[in-house]
Amino acid sequence: MDSNQIKNIVQKFFENKASRHTLTLFAKWFRLDDNSVEKDDALALVWENIPSVIDIQTLEDWSVVKQQISTDKGDKKTKTKSFKLRKIIPYAAAAVALMIVSAVYLTYKLAIPAPVEYTQLSVSYGEYKKLVLPDGTQVSVNAGSSLIYPKEFTSNTRTVFLSGEANFDVAQDPQKPFVVKTKHIDITALGTKFHVQSYPNDRQTKASLIEGSIQVSMESDASRLYVLKPNDQLIYSHGDDRISIIDVDAAKLASWEDGYLIFQEASFYEIAQMIERKYNVVINYDGQQLSHQSYYVKFNPDESLSEVMDVLTLLIHQSSYKIDGNAVYFYKK
């Protein structure tokens, strides 16, 4: 079975056109030990071309099926298979959707536990929300963000999924690490306070430690591990796959939940993004003119949009702005 055949099967599944017989043959092939390179390449190709986002339950089911496949093999083979599967985790969600349909269950009678029930919290621009997770962890979720979490933490880790920005005050449980998964990095903690910024359209993903200790790993390469100490900020640049760790005042960076906007060595792009989310506006500007400077600036909770823009015109020489409804036009003369 070549990569084009696999791609066609997966695409048919998402279009609800794949037959049970086809799915069963795919599942049989996937469980074989040979053709591992072809499997990796095909699944990667599928993942890159799937137009819609795979849901979180699919990722959880993949973990269960992966464990079952590894268990079915001998000890020696288990180690090899587990390594290969870990390599393809970022794009395996498309394949697991095929493996969890009824044809797979009927063929192999996998003992898969009842699915975990998830809750999704989405926060609109212009607001933020606070919640307490089932384990007592306190979370503040910023504007334009989404947090997905289980109604109960029943596995050996407490895993949540974040798109956007949030502050976490993690309840201590040494037996169950707390894991925040984002598109590019995973953050693991036992009991600590930290801040994560991982918006889909941002150029960077950031994790800042307020107190305690966290471990950060890369979704693309789990062997790249970084342990942060308080006031460390890890910055992952998406474009060049580069990691840097700088010293910041992490508590101040997390103070957006009190209404503050505080920037340390921030680009105009980063500042504009945060203003857009807080005030629910779109800022139009010439990125070429404003792309080469870094800024330190603090905005207070009670400042209006026009007051914030006034500060920017003082900060950036020979600039002006115009507000038209939900649109802001920022000019550099």
Model confidence pLDDT, tens digit, residues 139-173? 999 999 999 999 999 888 999 999 999 999 999 99
pLDDT of residue 34: 58
pLDDT tens per residue across span 57-106? 444 444 444 444 444 444 444 343 333 434 444 444 444 444 444 344 33
pLDDT of residue 31: 58
Residue 14, pLDDT > 60, answer no
Q: Distance between CA atoms of 64 and 104, rounded to whole angstroms?
A: 13
CA 69 to chain centre: 26
Lowest-confidence segment of 47-56, 76-85, 233-242 by average pLDDT: 76-85
Burial 114-149 (b: 16+ CB within 10 A, else e): eebeeeeeebebeebbeeebebebebbbbbbbebbb
Lowest-confidence segment of 48-52, 108-112, 169-173, 228-232 by average pLDDT: 108-112
Q: Hey, is 43 helix, strand or coil? A: helix
- Under the banding of pLDDT at 50, 70 and 90, the label for residue 292 is confident
- Under the banding of pLDDT at 50, 70 and 90, the label for residue 20 is low
Q: Distance between CA atoms of 170 and 150, rounded to whole angstroms?
A: 15
What is the architecture of the domain spanning 259-332? Answer: 3-Layer(bab) Sandwich (3.55)
Q: Distance between CA atoms of 280 and 144, rounded to whole angstroms?
A: 9
Residue 254, pLDDT > 60, answer yes
pLDDT of residue 315: 87
DSSP assignments along 106-137, one per residue: HHH---PPPPPPEEEEE--TT--EEEE-TTS-
Question: Between 225 and 220, whose confidence is greater?
Answer: 225
- Which residue's entry shows tokens 């760790």? 245
Q: Hey, is 142 helix, strand or coil? A: coil
Six token digits for residue 75: 């000890």
Residue 317, pLDDT > 50, answer yes
Residue 279: CB partners within 8 Å, gap ≥ 6?
125, 126, 305, 308
pLDDT tens per residue across span 177-214? 999 999 899 999 978 999 999 998 888 999 999 999 99
pLDDT tens per residue across span 100-144? 443 443 343 334 455 678 899 999 998 999 999 999 999 999 999
Q: Hey, is 286 helix, strand or coil? A: coil
Fold annotation for 118-252: Jelly Rolls (2.60.120)
Q: What is the pTM of this model?
A: 0.61
- Return the bridge partners of 320, or none: 331
Domain residue ranges in the chain: 3-108, 118-252, 259-332
pLDDT of residue 95: 45
- Under the banding of pLDDT at 50, 70 and 90, the label for residue 320 is very high
Sheet strand arrangement including 282-284: 282-284, 327-332, 319-324
Q: Closest Cα to residue 30, out of 52, 7, 1, 73?
A: 1
**CA-CA distances (angstroms) from residue 175 to 156, 193, 219?**
7, 18, 23
